Structure 1
């Protein structure tokens, strides 16, 4: 069951990436990120207030929010700090790179998760899983060759380094999620609500330094409907992902790889929507990544 929940998370993440590219194109990055996280928080706050006013009805429909201690709040704040850094770096990179380059690099996240899962959680891959992960990495090298034809030289482009660091931080957060869900026994909605709450707080501090004092940046910001859509779609994806993690049999290394099937939507649909170049050539490494994900699932 947890694998199907992972596929649902991938579906919403794919749609989320399309809306995110629309939101950041020619726009100020930080207020867009703040708007998406705030939209997700408001979306969750509606359910939180509903649970406070009608606790029995909310509990009967699986929307009960847990009472947690200060130590648990501290653990959630750490996750918020990790993801705030990851998102800031990813949004900046997405503004300067094609979605058909950014999304495949983000798809290498399962490799970092794969290493961490072996070291921290003692998850042991078999031969097919090894093949699947290395096939994903090889496909990333092919993407770097295609990126050069669009004027994107991977080794000399700072935005490539930016998205790689963002991917590493995102993978670290994924490993941390298993600890929060399984070791601390947090349910998805409780973790999502407080995670968004602290992330909004962190981003407010960043914006107070980089955005609010600068009039030219405030004027350059354009509000778009996709900003709200990004926040809601991300919370939907996270809900199914955390529900999958609640299963004690769920393997974080496999779940992380399943989520990357979102690349199909980003590369195929996004490539046509945003009229990016070399779409056909990008289908070759795309197939490599999808085959790698398939090998992991099959194993």
Structure 2
């Protein structure tokens, strides 16, 4: 069951990436990010209020946000710090790079998660899983060759380093999620609500320094409907992902890889919507990544 939940998370993540590309094009990154997180927070707020005044009902429908200790709040705040840094780097990179380059590099995330799952959680991969993961990494390297044809030098372009850093931090957060869900026994909606809350606070501090004081920057910001869509789709993806992680038999290394199937939506549909270059050539490494994901699922 947890694998199917992982595929649902991948579906919503793929749609989320398409909306995110539209939201950040020619726009200020930090207020866009704040808008998406606020949208997700407002989506969850009725469940928080309902949990305070109608705890039995919210528990019955499976959306109760439970009370947690200050120590647990601290653990969630750490996740917010990790993911805020990752998102800031990823949004900046997405603003300056084609989605058909950014998304496949992000697909290297399972490799970092794979290593962490072995070292931290002692998850044991089999031969096919090894092949699948290295096929994914090799396919990402092929994208770098295609990227150079679009004037993107992977060695000197700072946005490439930004998306690599975002990918590493995102993978670290994925490993941390298993600790939060399985060891601290947080339910998905509780983790999502407080994560959004602390992320909003962190972003407000950043914006108070980099955006709010500058009238010119505020005027350049363009509100788009996709900002709200990004927040809602992200919460939907996270909910199914965390539900999958609640299963004691769920392997974080496999869930991370299954989520990468989102690139099918981002590369194929995104390439058509945003009219990006070399779409046919990008289908070759895309196929490699999909075969890698298939081998992991098959194994």
Q: TM-score range, shorter-chain basis?
A: over 0.9
Task: Name 1:243's counterpart in structure 2.
Answer: 243
Task: Name 1:288's counterpart in structure 2.
Answer: 288
Distance 1:126 1:262 in 2: 24
Task: Name 1:128's counterpart in structure 2.
Answer: 128
Secondary structure of the residue aligned to 2:155 is helix
Distance 1:270 1:52 in 2: 41
Distance 1:204 1:118 in 2: 36
TM-superposed deviation, 1:152: 0.5
TM-score (norm 1): 0.99
Secondary structure of the residue aligned to 1:155 is coil
TM-superposed deviation, 1:294: 0.4
2:165 maps to 1:165: yes
Unaligned runs of 5+ in 2: none
Q: Give CA-to-partner distance per residue, 1:150-182, whole Å, 9 cap, x none.
A: 000101110000000000000000000000000
Distance 1:217 1:95 in 2: 16
Q: Give CA-to-partner distance per residue, 1:249-286, whole Å, 9 cap, x none.
A: 00000000000100000000000000000000000000
Secondary structure of the residue aligned to 1:36 is helix
Task: Name 2:98's counterpart in structure 1.
Answer: 98
RMSD of aligned residue pairs (Cα, Å): 0.6
2:83 maps to 1:55: no
Distance 1:125 1:7 in 2: 20
Task: Name 1:203's counterpart in structure 2.
Answer: 203
Task: Name 2:270's counterpart in structure 1.
Answer: 270
Number of equivalenced pairs: 299
Q: Give CA-to-partner distance per residue, 1:46-105, whole Å, 9 cap, x none.
A: 221122232211111101111110100000000000000000000000000000000000
1:160-239 equivalent positions in 2, closer than 5 A: 160-239=160-239
Task: Name 1:28's counterpart in structure 2.
Answer: 28
TM-superposed deviation, 1:296: 0.6
Q: Give CA-to-partner distance per residue, 1:222-258, whole Å, 9 cap, x none.
A: 0000000000000000000000000000000000000
Task: Name 2:18's counterpart in structure 1.
Answer: 18
Distance 1:60 1:141 in 2: 48
Distance 1:261 1:89 in 2: 22
1:75-154 equivalent positions in 2, closer than 5 A: 75-154=75-154
Distance 1:51 1:259 in 2: 30
Task: Name 1:6's counterpart in structure 2.
Answer: 6
Distance 1:264 1:219 in 2: 36
Secondary structure of the residue aligned to 1:154 is coil
Unaligned runs of 5+ in 1: none
Distance 1:50 1:66 in 2: 11
Distance 1:64 1:161 in 2: 40
